[in-house]
Chain A
Amino acid sequence: MGWIKEKYEIESIINEFTMDWINFPIYTCFILIIWMLGLLFVSINSKRRFNSTLGNLLLIFGVLMLIAMLSVLWINLERPPLRTLGETRLWYSIFLSVVGLIFYWRWKYNWFLVFSFSMSGLFIILNIIYPENFNKSLMPALHSGWFVPHVVVYIISYALLGASSIVAVKQLFDTYVKGKSSSNAISLADNLVYLGFSFLTMGLLFGALWAKEAWGHYWTWDPKETWAFLTWSVYLIYIHGRIKDSLKENTAMWVLAFGFIILLICWFGVNYLPSTANSVHTYSKT
Chain B
Amino acid sequence: MNTNRPTWTKPWSYKEGILISLSLLVLGFGLEYLSNGIGTDNLLIYPNNLYMGIIIVTLILFLAIIGKSWTITEWLQSTAAAICSIGLLLLVSLLMGLTLQYDDGAGETIRRLGLSHILTSWQYLLANLLLLLSLGLTTIKSIWNFSWNKLGFTISHLGLWIVIFGGNFGSIQLERLQVKLIEGEISNIAHNNSGSPIKELPFAIKLNDFILEEYNPKIALVYNEAGIMFKDESSSIVIAELGNYGTISNWNIEILEYIYSSAKAGNKYYQINEPGAAPSAFIRATNLTGTTVEGWVHCGSFNRQYESLKLDDEYSAIMLFPEPKEYISKIEILTTERPPESISLEVNKPYYIDGWKLYQMGYDYELGRWSNTSIIEVIRDPWLRIVYAGIFMMLAGAMFMFWVGSKKNMK
Contacting residue for B347 out of A1, A214, A273, CB 8 A: A214
> How many interface residues does A have (CB within 8 Å)?
61
**What's the Cα separation between A5 and B384 when bound, in Å?**
57
**What's the Cα separation between A4 and B403 when bound, in Å?**
60
B52 touches A (CB below 8 Å): no
Residues in B with CB closer than 8 Å to A221 are 96, 101, 119
B324 to A140, Cβ gap below 8 A?
yes
A213 touches B (CB below 8 Å): yes
B405 to A246, Cβ gap below 8 A?
no
Residues in A with CB closer than 8 Å to B89 are 233
Which of A7-15, A21-29, A36-44 forms contacts with chain B? A7-15
Residues in A with CB closer than 8 Å to B167 are 218-219
Residues in A with CB closer than 8 Å to B97 are 223, 226-227, 230, 273, 275
Residues in B with CB closer than 8 Å to A107 are 405
Residues in A with CB closer than 8 Å to B86 are 233, 236-237, 240
A241 to B395, Cβ gap below 8 A?
no
**What's the Cα separation between A208 and B167 when bound, in Å?**
12
A4 to B256, Cβ gap below 8 A?
yes
Interface members, chain B 357-386 (any A CB < 8 Å): 357, 359, 377, 379, 381, 384
Interface members, chain A 122-166 (any B CB < 8 Å): 132, 135, 137-141, 143-144
**What's the Cα separation between A14 and B349 when bound, in Å?**
34
B325 to A140, Cβ gap below 8 A?
yes
Interface members, chain B 313-328 (any A CB < 8 Å): 323-327
Q: How far is the CB of A193 from chain B (nearest CB, A)?
A: 8
B276 touches A (CB below 8 Å): no
Nearest CB in chain A to that of B79: its residue: A246
B398 touches A (CB below 8 Å): yes
A interface SS class: helix
Residues in A with CB closer than 8 Å to B94 are 230
A217 to B176, Cβ gap below 8 A?
yes
A216 to B377, Cβ gap below 8 A?
yes
A198 to B402, Cβ gap below 8 A?
yes
Q: How far is the CB of B45 from chain A (nearest CB, A)?
A: 18
B391 to A209, Cβ gap below 8 A?
yes
**What's the Cα separation between A198 and B176 when bound, in Å?**
32
Contacting residue for B406 out of A135, A138, A187, CB 8 A: A187
Residues in B with CB closer than 8 Å to A117 are none
Q: How far is the CB of A120 from chain B (nearest CB, A)?
A: 19
A249 touches B (CB below 8 Å): no
Contacting residue for B405 out of A191, A236, A277, CB 8 A: A191
Q: How far is the CB of B126 from chain A (nearest CB, A)?
A: 17
Contacting residue for B83 out of A137, A246, A273, CB 8 A: A246
B235 touches A (CB below 8 Å): yes
A243 to B79, Cβ gap below 8 A?
yes
A87 touches B (CB below 8 Å): no
Nearest CB in chain B to that of A12: its residue: B243
B119 to A195, Cβ gap below 8 A?
no
B93 touches A (CB below 8 Å): yes
Residues in A with CB closer than 8 Å to B338 are none
**What's the Cα separation between A214 and B242 when bound, in Å?**
33
B32 touches A (CB below 8 Å): no
Residues in A with CB closer than 8 Å to B101 are 221, 275
B391-411 toward A: CB 8 Å interface, digit per residue (1/0)? 100110111011101101100
Q: How far is the CB of A178 from chain B (nearest CB, A)?
A: 24
B323 to A137, Cβ gap below 8 A?
yes
Q: How far is the CB of B24 from chain A (nearest CB, A)?
A: 17
Residues in A with CB closer than 8 Å to B235 are 132
A260 touches B (CB below 8 Å): no
B297 touches A (CB below 8 Å): no
B402 to A4, Cβ gap below 8 A?
no
The 8 closest A-B pairs by CB, nearest first: A8-B243, A198-B401, A201-B398, A140-B347, A137-B215, A198-B402, A246-B79, A190-B406
Can you offer 20 A-B residue contacts whose CB atoms are under 8 A? A1-B282, A4-B256, A11-B242, A11-B243, A137-B325, A140-B325, A143-B348, A191-B405, A201-B397, A202-B398, A213-B350, A217-B379, A217-B381, A236-B86, A237-B87, A240-B82, A240-B83, A246-B80, A275-B97, A275-B100
Taking beta carbons and an 8 Å cutoff, which residues of A are in contact with B?
Answer: 1, 4-5, 8-9, 11-12, 106-107, 132, 135, 137-141, 143-144, 187, 190-191, 193-195, 197-199, 201-202, 205, 208-209, 212-214, 216-219, 221, 223, 226-227, 229-230, 233-234, 236-237, 240-244, 246-248, 273-275, 277
Q: A140-B347, A240-B82, A273-B98 are in contact. List 5 more A-B contacts (CB 8 A).
A: A1-B257, A216-B357, A217-B174, A227-B97, A233-B89
